[in-house]
Every structure is written in C-alpha cells, then in structure tokens.
Amino acid sequence: MPSDAPHRDPIETLAAERERLRESHLDGSSGLEQVRALTAAVDAAVSALWSDIAGDRRGVALVALGGYGRGELSPHSDLDLMVLHTGVKGAADEARALFYRLWDAGFEVGHAVRSPAECLRLARENFEAETSFLDARRLSGDETLYQEFAAASVGFSRKRGAKFVAAARAAMEARHAKDGNASCLLEPDLKEGAGGLRDLHTTVWLDRLFETGSATEETGAASMLYRIRNHLHYEAARRQDVLLLHLQQPTAEALGWRAEEQWSVWDAFMRDVYRTTRAVEQRLARTLVELSGPRRRRSRAPVESASHASVRSLREAAEESFGDPWTPAMREAFFSLLRLADSDALRESDDAGALAAYLPEWDRVRNRPQHNVYHRFTVDIHAYETAAHLARLDARADEPLAARAAADVRDRDLLLLAGLLHDIGKGSDGDHSEVGAISAAGIASRAGFDRARTETVRWLVRNHLLLVDAATRRDISDEDLVVELAAQVGDPERLRMLYALSVADGLGTGATAWTSWKSTLVAELFSRMMHVLERGEVASSDARELFRLRTAELRRALSDRHPEDAIETHMHGMSRAYVLAFSTNDLIRHFALMAEPLATGDIRTHVAASGQPGLSDLTLVAADRPGLFSIVSGALALNGINVVSAQIHTRSDGAALEVFRVRPSMDSSIDENRWQRLFDDVRAALRGELGLERMISEKRAAYARRPAKTRPRDPVVVVANDASDFYTVIEVHALDRLGVLYAITRVLAEAGLDIHLAKVATYGEEVVDSFYVRQAAGEKLEAPDLIAALERSILGAVAVE
C-alpha cells in the first residue's frame, strides 16, 4: 500500500489544472485543444498515481482505452483504463489500488485487468471492446508488451475486413434506431446520436484499418462537437451529452454564436450543429457504402437505390433548364421523388444538393429547429416525413377515414406538394401559415401549376392547421361551427386534401403530437363537415364572408328604420345554416317581422306568391312554445291549405320563424279572406280557445273519403340517426288525409322534440314527411326505448280509423 506521497497530491494538481482549463474553454480554446489538454492533465495524475502504486516493471502496462486512449476526454468523460499483464503476480491488487484512488477522486472509471490473450478473446465477442482496443494508448509500463497487444488488436480487426465493416454498420444502425435519427432530432445526442462523435470515430477507425481517406475531413466537425460537449459537461458538472432544449440557447450564447437575418442565435446555433452532424452522418454512410459496395456486387446485380436514382434524374432534368418555370422533365423528376413516399430519399436528395435548383426557398427551413415539446424533427425533416406519410396515407389501416379520403383525392401531386411545403413559412416573422402560403404559391406556379391549382396549394398551406385547431379547441357538436368551417373549405375535394394533410402533418410530427385522442377528434370533425358539403347545405363561399355581407346588406336596407345593433343581435341570434339558406331579400323580410319583441299569442305573418303557379310562401313569426308548428299545421289543414315544405328557425331569444310553401287543397288560389281566417284560427288556438283536434276530425268526417283505388299501404315510420350529425331524422310514410301533418307534429311536440326542418311530399295518395328533430337540450333522440315509443305513437296518430 502506498504511503502518502511527499510531493503535491496528483489529484489536487489535476483539480487545479481542470479549473484552469475551464477558464481557457470559456476564453474560446477549440474543442480539440480542450480534450487534448484535459487528457494530458489526467495522464499526469494517473501516471503519478500508478508509479506510486506499481512502479515500472516488465510484464505490466497501464493502458488507456476508448476516448481516453484517443486523447479526447471531455470534462466528465469516463476513464477507460486497463491493466495489461502477462500473468504477473499482484497486478490485480495494484490495479484495484489505482482504481480506488480514482473513484475516490470522483471519476467514473471503466476498469479491467487482462492478458493480451484475454483481450483478443473479448474483441472476438464484443464489437465495442474491439473498437476500444483500436484507440488504446500506453500510459505507463511495459512498452514491448503494449506494442504486441496494439499490433495484435489492429491486425485482428483489419483481418476481419468485411465482418468488421458489417459490425460497424450494425452498431451504427442500432445506435440510430435507439433514439430516433439524432442528426435531425430537436434534442440531439452529441455522442451516441446520428452524426455524433461515435459516428465520427467509426469513420476514423474505418480509415485507419482500410485506408478510406475519409478521416481527414473530420477534424473540424470533431472540434465543434467537442467544444459543445465540453460546455455541456462544464455547465452540468457531470456527463451531459444530450443537447436538451433548455440548454441550447444558453450554450449558443456562451459559445459566441450570433443572430443572423431570419435566424435567431438559438436557431443559427442549432442549424450549425445539424449541418455538422448531418455531414458526419453522410461521411460515415458513404464510407460504409464504399467499403461494402464491391462485395455486394459480387453476390447480386447492383441495384441503384431509390434516392440515387432520384438524385440523378433531378440533376439531369435541372441541368437542361434555367429553373423557372420548371420543364416537364423537372416536374417529372420532382413529383416522382414525392410519389416514392420515402422521406429518406427526399432527405438524401437534398443532402446531395439536388433539390436546390427546384426549391431555393428551402434554405430557410433546412436544419431549422423547432421550439416546442411536440416536434421531434427539424422543419425540413418534418416536411419530408409529412410528404412521405401523405403519399402512403391511403394504405394506413389505423386511419381508415383519412386513408379513404387520401385515396379519393384526384390531384395527388398537388396534395404532395402542399404537404412538402406546408411549413415553409417557419422561421419567418409573422404567422408561418400566412407567410408560407405565399412562398408555396410561388413554388406551385413555378412548378407549372395553373391558377386554380396554385390557389389550392396556397389555400392548403394557409389553412393547414384549421381542422386540428378547430377539433381540439372548439365545440364540434355545434352545428353553426361545422357549417361555417365547411363553407370556409368550400368543396369536398378540398376538404379531403385538408384532412389528409392534417393527418400526415400529425403523423410526421411524432407520436406525442398525433395521439389517437387527437386523431378521433379530427376524424369526427372531418366527417361532419363532409356531410354538410356532400348534402350541399352551404354555398361554396366563405361563410363568415357571406355572413358579413348579408349583415351589411341588411343594415343598408334597414338602417333608416332600425338601429344597427338590433340588426347585429338578430343575425347573431339566428343559426349559420339559416343565414346561408336564404337570400338577402328573404332575410330582410324576416327581420321586419322579427324586429319588435313578440308578446305571447302574438303572430306576425307575410304571404307572397311563390315562383311556381298555385304555390304561395307563408312566413309566420311567433314566440316559440311547444307544439307551435303543430298548431299552425292544424290551422292550415282546417282552412284547406296543404303544406308542400316547411322550415323552422328559432332565434336564440325564442322568437320562432316558420316558413311554409303551401297550396290550396281544392281551389286554384287562396284569397285574402282565407288567409285572415287562418291567422285568426292560429291566434285562437294559441290562446287555447280553439279545439283543433275536434274540429279537424269533424272536418275529416264531413269529407266522405273517396274509396282508395288500391289497398293503401300500411304507414311506415323510420327513425334515423345516421342521416344527420346534429338531428334525428324521422321519416313518415302515410296515407294522405286531412291534418296528417298536424297529427304527426302533435306527437313530436308531446314527445318534447324540437322540429328544425320539415319536408313534406305527396305521391298520389301517400305522403312522405321528414322531420329533423332534436331533444330540448339539443341532443339527438338515441335511446332505443324512446325511439320505439315514438314510432308507436306516430303510427297510432296516422292510422286510418
């Protein structure tokens, strides 16, 4: 056991030296200078300790392995030490004494005591050990023994040849797969990640063993990666190799990065990190291909990889043109690449510089980091992922609706281009969707898209967050919202594209962003909007625009008679579907009827000839109450007026607007007296002074029923919940007779259902009436027992006695 050394303790000397080096790091010493100086300081301490413990003798050598052996220690790197011996007695005890000293001093020490033969056996079993021997360096002890071991290690690996290359590739792939593809991850691992130091060292080993000549390019990259890594170690006061989000900005500032136009300090720093790691990654990939290439050719015919072929055709096409607009050959090369559905091919094409002629705008997003917890990739990689997901979305089983929507999109190239460009506005000042829409439209038009297609690309990029934002932040069970969004999209093809883009964008962001939770909400919104569009319930223009336009027209027409805020309140109290369903003239007429507050029992009416002969349009306004529609229907029947169709809209303050298209059942027209009698009857019924039920059955009895020409079919009631997203649709087939509409709607009112829309059609002796209804709280009628009871009641009401 060693006594306390008379000279200054080596550990203390080391600690002082490390403090000094920390200063020089902050003063700007390069990454490689630092790691070499740190190594020298540790060497001095370890050698001093070792000579105290063991002294120099034959048959024992102290050897540094791995990063320490290479002379590249970061402030808190592990020390990989090995005592190499030829069976000398006491070597293990000496080794243990050294390792304890180092542990006590706070080092993480990888330790081993081995003979050269044991080393070789280990190298055969373990690739990591094999490569750590390639970096071995003698610190102290038997020089001859060490030289034999070093020569044997290098000779062993070199002789393994292709097997070593394959092992290096497998290790690289395992490393990259472990934490995703780090050279574009937002929190790159500088050591183990793709393009990190381990990749860089692999390139160096391969060069040393097989003289690939690729190591010379690595000095600059190594110096930069080490400088950042050293800083992380110093700041964290421990081994910290992952460049975490919250460390990026302070590191960039401490290491002297500066902001540039369109690039903040943070973004510029990360861009430079990605540039470096991507270059390291590419050099390793290229080296591996070169080393394994000829061998592969022997076993089977050379296969040109997808990305190589793409790069070649992109280049050839671009060479023969001036870039603006694209030639047909450029278009073909570019869209063929997109259709491959291969994000690596896109990335490799860009890495090879083949996309620059097509998308000079790409500089803005290449290697640009994103500062939120959802994203895992830089903007450009995320764009490749999105485009690739889009191209194969139609085959995705876990997104059945999106798969179908993507398969139905007719203009696939347009969709793929919008997918690639959707985030191209990132990094600019202002809303990235707005800025990106302008750039994307410029690119689309350069790509030879006509005006309509260019406009669609612009629209998709500008609105690429519309569905996801609405689905997660707004009430998608609100019909007004869905109608408004549907009108904003305008047509089913555009909605399909937007939906596919939204899903691909989510999938391309990462699993934390696109949960099945979010997927469900977006699918539900898509499906509802699609139903609105497919049923043609909205005009294909911007609903909000139309709403503003209608309000403005109304104000212009009425502001001399009504205060503007009354018009405003009225418009906002009515549903969007209402505003979009009528013309401005209709709206003006309705407002005139609804402007003044309504007393209970009050009705206001308007009658006009419809465009078609024999048909009249009746508008009736009253304070809403249960059964209002039923009462009006009954009064109409009582006065010999048949209903052709009916719409009901209730303002939020409870003023009900009922719009009927009617025709007389006997006469050719309805005279003024008849209308007056009708309105009097409605008023009386609302006051409860008219026995509608009794009067209708009396009237029915008064008209001898004509004998049916054929045996009447039994009435049928169909209650459907899948026909509308917001209403239960009830369809009644029944024999036409006086007051049948009254009879049905009375049952609906008694069941507590609000009627939103009624469509009445007569086919010979049969009527088919449909009602869009919901319960008082706004829900559909879905309980099976309630549906069954309702069906029975309606059947009872329409049955012919």
Q: Give whichever of 643 and 781 is closer to other proteins, judged by the CB atom.
A: 781
Stretch that binds other proteins, among 153-161, 450-458, 561-569, 773-781 (CB under 8 A): 773-781
**What residues between 228 and 257 interact with other proteins by CB under 8 A?**
none
Question: Locate tokens 């290449």: which residue?
Answer: 366
Amino acid at 472: T
Stretch that binds other proteins, among 141-149, 402-410, 579-587, 762-770 (CB under 8 A): 402-410
Among 56, 316, 363, 475, interactor with other proteins by CB under 8 A:
475
Q: Are 241 and 192 a contacting pair, CB within 8 Å?
A: yes
Alpha-carbon separation of residue 369 from 9, 188, 261, 268, 433 (angstroms): 47, 11, 15, 9, 17
Can you tell me the distance from the alpha carbon of 89 to that of 91, in angstroms, rounded to the nearest whole number? 6
* Residue 431, φ and ψ in degrees, nearest 5: -65, 120
Stretch that binds other proteins, among 209-217, 472-480, 566-574, 600-608 (CB under 8 A): 472-480
**What residues between 113 and 132 interact with other proteins by CB under 8 A?**
none
Stretch that binds other proteins, among 65-73, 252-260, 474-482, 663-671 (CB under 8 A): 474-482
Q: Give whichever of 440 and 523 is closer to other proteins, judged by the CB atom.
A: 523
Backbone CA torsion sign across 543, 546, 552, 553: negative
Among 22, 404, 562, 733, interactor with other proteins by CB under 8 A:
404
CB burial string 302-336: b at 16+ within 10 A, e below = eeeebbebbbebbeebbeeeeeeebeebbbebbbb
Site string for other proteins, 511-550 (x = CB under 8 A): ----x-xx-xx-xx-xx--x--------------------
Q: Give whichever of 55 and 778 is closer to other proteins, judged by the CB atom.
A: 778
Cβ 422 to other proteins, closest distance in Å? 22
Stretch that binds other proteins, among 21-29, 143-151, 475-483, 644-652 (CB under 8 A): 475-483
Can you tell me the distance from the alpha carbon of 499 to that of 507, in angstroms, rounded to the nearest whole number? 12
CB burial string 145-184: b at 16+ within 10 A, e below = bbeebbebbbebbeebeeebbbbbbebbeebbeeebbbbb
Stretch that binds other proteins, among 331-339, 373-381, 469-477, 786-794 (CB under 8 A): 469-477
Cβ 652 to other proteins, closest distance in Å? 13
Stretch that binds other proteins, among 61-69, 228-236, 332-340, 778-786 (CB under 8 A): 778-786
Among 237, 452, 666, 777, interactor with other proteins by CB under 8 A:
777
Q: Which two tokens stand for residue 560?
A: 């001399």
Cβ 475 to other proteins, closest distance in Å? 5
Cβ 663 to other proteins, closest distance in Å? 37
Alpha-carbon separation of residue 113 from 79, 82, 150, 636 (angstroms): 14, 6, 16, 105
Alpha-carbon separation of residue 145 from 50, 52, 137, 182 (angstroms): 17, 21, 12, 40
Q: Is 653 in the site for other proteins (CB under 8 A)?
A: no
Q: Are 667 and 713 a contacting pair, CB within 8 Å?
A: no
Q: Are 656 and 580 a contacting pair, CB within 8 Å?
A: no
Can you tell me the distance from the alpha carbon of 230 to that of 314, in angstroms, rounded to the nearest whole number? 41
Q: Give whichever of 300 and 473 is closer to other proteins, judged by the CB atom.
A: 473
> Nearest Cα to 468, choosing from 515, 406, 536, 401?
515
Q: Enumerate the β-bridge partners of residue 679.
A: none
Strands 109-114 and 79-85: parallel
Cβ 409 to other proteins, closest distance in Å? 12
Among 118, 316, 324, 408, interactor with other proteins by CB under 8 A:
408
Q: Which two tokens stand for residue 588?
A: 């003006």
* Geometric angle at alpha carbon 457, from 454 and 459, rounded to 5°: 110
**What residues between 703 and 732 interact with other proteins by CB under 8 A?**
722
Among 44, 88, 255, 401, interactor with other proteins by CB under 8 A:
401
Q: What is the 3-state secondary structure (H, E, C) of 161-227?
A: CHHHHHHHHHHHHHHHHHCECCCCECCCECCCCCCCHHHHHHHHHHHHHHCCCCHHHHHHHHHHHHH
Q: Is 215 in the site for other proteins (CB under 8 A)?
A: no
Among 55, 124, 782, 788, interactor with other proteins by CB under 8 A:
782
Q: Is 474 in the site for other proteins (CB under 8 A)?
A: yes
Cβ 540 to other proteins, closest distance in Å? 19
Stretch that binds other proteins, among 466-474, 580-588, 654-662, 665-673 (CB under 8 A): 466-474
* Geometric angle at alpha carbon 714, from 708 and 716, rounded to 5°: 135
Q: Give whichever of 244 and 701 is closer to other proteins, judged by the CB atom.
A: 244
Q: Is 190 in the site for other proteins (CB under 8 A)?
A: no
Look at phi and psi of residue 108 and say left if phi exceeds 0, alpha if psi is from -120 to 50, else beta: beta
Q: Is 491 in the site for other proteins (CB under 8 A)?
A: no
Q: Are 753 and 772 a contacting pair, CB within 8 Å?
A: no
Number of residues that bind other proteins (CB under 8 A): 27
Compute the chain's Rg from CA coordinates. Answer: 40
Q: Are 772 and 720 a contacting pair, CB within 8 Å?
A: no
Stretch that binds other proteins, among 17-25, 297-305, 452-460, 473-481 (CB under 8 A): 473-481
Alpha-carbon separation of residue 515 from 308, 496, 525, 526 (angstroms): 34, 20, 16, 17
Cβ 400 to other proteins, closest distance in Å? 4
The DSSP code sequence of 648-702 is: EEE-TTSEEEEEEEEEESSSSS--HHHHHHHHHHHHHHHHT---HHHHHHHHHHH
Stretch that binds other proteins, among 238-246, 639-647, 682-690, 774-782 (CB under 8 A): 774-782
Q: Are 224 and 197 a contacting pair, CB within 8 Å?
A: no
Among 219, 477, 541, 559, interactor with other proteins by CB under 8 A:
477
Cβ 331 to other proteins, closest distance in Å? 30
Q: Give whichever of 559 and 652 is closer to other proteins, judged by the CB atom.
A: 652
Among 84, 113, 291, 403, interactor with other proteins by CB under 8 A:
403
Stretch that binds other proteins, among 75-83, 425-433, 542-550, 775-783 (CB under 8 A): 775-783
Q: Is residue 33 within a helix (H) or strand (E), and if so which, with residue range?
A: helix 31-53
Cβ 523 to other proteins, closest distance in Å? 5
Cβ 478 to other proteins, closest distance in Å? 9
Q: Give whichever of 151 and 720 is closer to other proteins, judged by the CB atom.
A: 720
Q: Enumerate the β-bridge partners of residue 766.
A: 735, 763
Q: Give whichever of 292 and 575 is closer to other proteins, judged by the CB atom.
A: 575
Among 405, 457, 729, 749, interactor with other proteins by CB under 8 A:
405
Site string for other proteins, 330-369 (x = CB under 8 A): ----------------------------------------
**What residues between 658 and 687 interact with other proteins by CB under 8 A?**
none
Backbone CA torsion sign across 609, 612, 614, 618: negative
Q: Is 652 in the site for other proteins (CB under 8 A)?
A: no
Q: Give whichever of 330 and 468 is closer to other proteins, judged by the CB atom.
A: 468
Residues found near other proteins in the complex (CB under 8 A): 400-401, 403-405, 408, 472-477, 515, 517-518, 520-521, 523-524, 526-527, 530, 722, 777-779, 782
